[in-house]
C-alpha cells in the first residue's frame, strides 16, 4: 500500500480498505446537510442491488436502450501506423446519447425510482451528463434538474436544447467562474 499526502495535508491510500472504501472518509466527503441523504442512498442501494428485478431491469435497459455490449472495433490502420501494436476501440460513442454517461445515469435514475424519489439532480459541464440524466429521467418518469455554469450554457447550446426537450429543468450557476472544469 502506498500512502500519499495531498496538498491539503490529508493522507490517502492507493488501495481500499476491507469494505472497498478509500481513505479516512471512505471517498465520501460531503457537507453535513447532504450526509443524511447520502447515507439513505447508500443504504437503499445495498438493499436494492440484491433484488433480482432490479438487476434484470438494468440488464434489459443496457441491452435494449443503451445498445450494450458496446462493439469493439479493430483499428487496423492505426495499429499499422503505431508500429504493429494491435489497437482496438470500444465504441462508447455508439451508446444512446453518444457517450458512456448513459450507463451510470440509467442505474442512478432506476435506483432513485426504486427508492421512491420523484426527482434527480446533477451538474454538468459540456452538457453530455445532463443530456444522459435527462434522457434516463424522461424514460422513467422522474423530474430532472441540471445545474450548469452560465459560461458553459452559452458554449454548449445544442446540449442545453436537448436537456430542455427531454424535460430537464436547467439551473444556471453564476458562482465562481460559471464553468465546470
The pairing of beta strand 169-173 with beta strand 143-149: parallel
Under 8 Å between Cβ of 175 and 118:
no
Instruction: Say what the pLDDT of residue 129 is.
Output: 96
Q: What are phi and psi of 43, to 5 degrees?
A: -65, -45
82, 148: one domain: no
174, 113: one domain: yes
| Residue 104, helix vs strand vs coil | helix
Instruction: Say what the pLDDT of residue 134 is.
Output: 98
Is residue 173 within a helix (H) or strand (E), and if so which, with residue range? Answer: strand 169-173
Q: Quote the CA–CA distance of 37 and 123 in Å, as a whole number.
A: 17
Q: Residue 123 sits in which domain range?
A: 99-181
120, 166: one domain: yes
Instruction: Say what the pLDDT of residue 10 is.
Output: 54
Instruction: Say what the pLDDT of residue 7 is.
Output: 57
Instruction: Say what the pLDDT of residue 81 is.
Output: 96
Grid coordinates representing 142? Answer: 422522474
129, 159: one domain: yes
Domain ends where: 82, 98, 114? 98
121, 153: one domain: yes
180, 170: one domain: yes
116, 150: one domain: yes
Q: How many domains is the chain partitioned into structurally?
A: 2
82, 132: one domain: no
**pLDDT, tens digit only, all 181 positions of the chain:** 555 555 555 555 677 888 888 777 777 778 888 888 888 999 999 999 999 999 999 999 999 999 999 999 999 999 999 998 999 999 999 999 989 999 999 999 999 999 999 999 999 999 999 999 999 999 999 999 999 999 999 999 999 999 999 999 999 999 888 887 7
73, 112: one domain: no
120, 92: one domain: no
Amino acid at each position: 500500500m502506498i500512502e500519499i499526502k495531498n496538498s491539503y495535508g490529508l493522507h490517502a491510500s492507493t488501495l481500499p480498505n476491507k469494505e472497498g472504501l478509500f481513505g479516512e472518509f471512505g471517498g465520501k466527503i460531503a457537507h453535513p446537510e447532504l450526509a443524511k441523504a447520502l447515507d439513505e442512498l447508500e443504504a437503499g442501494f445495498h438493499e436494492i442491488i440484491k433484488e433480482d428485478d432490479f438487476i434484470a431491469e438494468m440488464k434489459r435497459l443496457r441491452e435494449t436502450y443503451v445498445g450494450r455490449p458496446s462493439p469493439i472495433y479493430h483499428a487496423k490502420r492505426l495499429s499499422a501506423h503505431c508500429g504493429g501494436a494491435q489497437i482496438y476501440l470500444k465504441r462508447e460513442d455508439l451508446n444512446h446519447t453518444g457517450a458512456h454517461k448513459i450507463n451510470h445515469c440509467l442505474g442512478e435514475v432506476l435506483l432513485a425510482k426504486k427508492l421512491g424519489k420523484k426527482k434527480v439532480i446533477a451538474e454538468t459541464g459540456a452538457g453530455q451528463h445532463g443530456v444522459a440524466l435527462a434522457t434516463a429521467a424522461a424514460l422513467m418518469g422522474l423530474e430532472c434538474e441540471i445545474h450548469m455554469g452560465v459560461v458553459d450554457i452559452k458554449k454548449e447550446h445544442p446540449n442545453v436544447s436537448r436537456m430542455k426537450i427531454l424535460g430537464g429543468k436547467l439551473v444556471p450557476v453564476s458562482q465562481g467562474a460559471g464553468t465546470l472544469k
